[in-house]
Amino acid sequence: MQRYFIYLAYDGTAYHGWQIQPNGTSVQACLMKALSTLLRREVDVVGAGRTDAGVHASLMVAHFDSDAPLDPVLMADKLNRLLPPDISVYRLRAVKQDAHARFDATARTYRYYVTTVKTPFNRQYRCRLFQTPDFERMNEAAQILFDYTDFTSFSKLHTDVKTNNCRIMQAGWTQQDESTWVFTIRADRFLRNMVRAIVGTLLEVGRGKLSVEGFRQVIEQRDRCRAGTSVPGNALFLVDVAYPEEIFVSD
């Protein structure tokens, strides 16, 4: 058996998230169906994580096993011919047999996009703000994230994870153009709904409804009810997943 990592992108608008759902279309199911068709057997696919309904990925990674070595370029081309237009495979990379797309990931990076103007061409990929928040204060609050590892306050309730600890490596807002701002956050792992809850709480700081010190208190209280409302998923993108180079087999 040879294990491969698939690097792919998808527009999450039409999907109920990455993970297979009993009553909805998922990205994982589409990818498994295409691989099973090409390899002529049932193929399991394991993703680096699971994005929620409507969330996008400009780079997601998943792994699967093949009975025989594959031509990565040819296989990527065949997959793209079978997959729907809103899912695209960038490349395949051979990895060691025990490599795991989820457990071997050392960091994941998300970006959340907000805009202060109404534009019909990006309504699916931006969160519209009706007043311009104080991004400087929001960045000041975002720096507090580096002081903590327990982010229970930003986690969806009743999840099956054993710990709510995460190590945040990057967090901050940058201006993309006159009306668009981007929040970039990078961590070793993320909790369910974590990025959207952090952004929603930072926006309360930017609107003057929560002080910078109040943001710190939200984290310390470890209570989801103390944090802000989660922002919509349509403006959230998974943009990178990092791995140690030693898990890859030479191309």
Are 99 and 112 in the same domain? no
Give pLDDT tens digits for 176-207: 999 999 999 999 999 989 999 999 999 999 99
Domain membership flag for residue 67:
yes
Give pLDDT tens digits for 123-168: 899 999 999 999 999 999 999 999 999 999 999 876 667 888 999 9
Q: Over 70: is that where the pLDDT of 68 sits?
A: yes
CATH number (domain holding residue 82): 3.30.70.580
Known binding-site residue numbers for substrate: 110
pLDDT value, residue 19: 93
Q: Which member of 52, 104, 134, 223 is catalytic?
A: 52
For the chain, percent of residues with pLDDT exceeding 90: 91
What's the CA gap between 112 and 136, in Å, rounded?
Answer: 17
Of 49, 79, 104, at which residue does a domain stop?
Answer: 104
CATH number (domain holding residue 226): 3.30.70.660
DSSP one-letter string for the chain: -EEEEEEEEE-GGGSS-SS-BTTB--HHHHHHHHHHHHHTS----EESS-PPTT-EEEEEEEEEEESS---HHHHHHHHHHHS-TTEEEEEEEEE-TT--TTTT--EEEEEEEEESS--GGGTTT-EEPSS---HHHHHHHHGGGGG-SB-GGGSPSS---S--B--EEEEEEEE-SSSEEEEEEEES---TTHHHHHHHHHHHHHTTSS-HHHHHHHHHHT-GGGSPPPPPGGGEEEEEEE--GGGBPP-
pLDDT value, residue 202: 98
Calculate mean pLDDT across residues 230-251.
94
Domain membership flag for residue 250:
no
Active site residue 52: yes
Q: Over 90: is that where the pLDDT of 251 sits?
A: no
Calculate mean pLDDT across residues 168-178.
96
First-to-final CA distance of the chain: 17
Domain membership flag for residue 251:
no
pLDDT value, residue 98: 96
Are 76 and 112 in the same domain? no
Calculate mean pLDDT across residues 53-64.
96
The number of domains in the chain is 2
Domain membership flag for residue 76:
yes
Of 104, 132, 156, at which residue does a domain stop?
Answer: 104
Calculate mean pLDDT across residues 20-35.
93
Known binding-site residue numbers: 110
Contacts of 216 (CB under 8 A, 6+ apart): 141, 144, 147
If you search the block for the tokens 């395949």, which residue do you land on? 92
Mean pLDDT rounded to a whole number for the chain: 95
Of 55, 88, 104, at which residue does a domain stop?
Answer: 104
Report pTM: 0.94
Are 133 and 206 in the same domain? yes
Query: What is the domain range of residue 51?
Result: 2-104
Give pLDDT tens digits for 71-86: 999 999 999 999 999 9
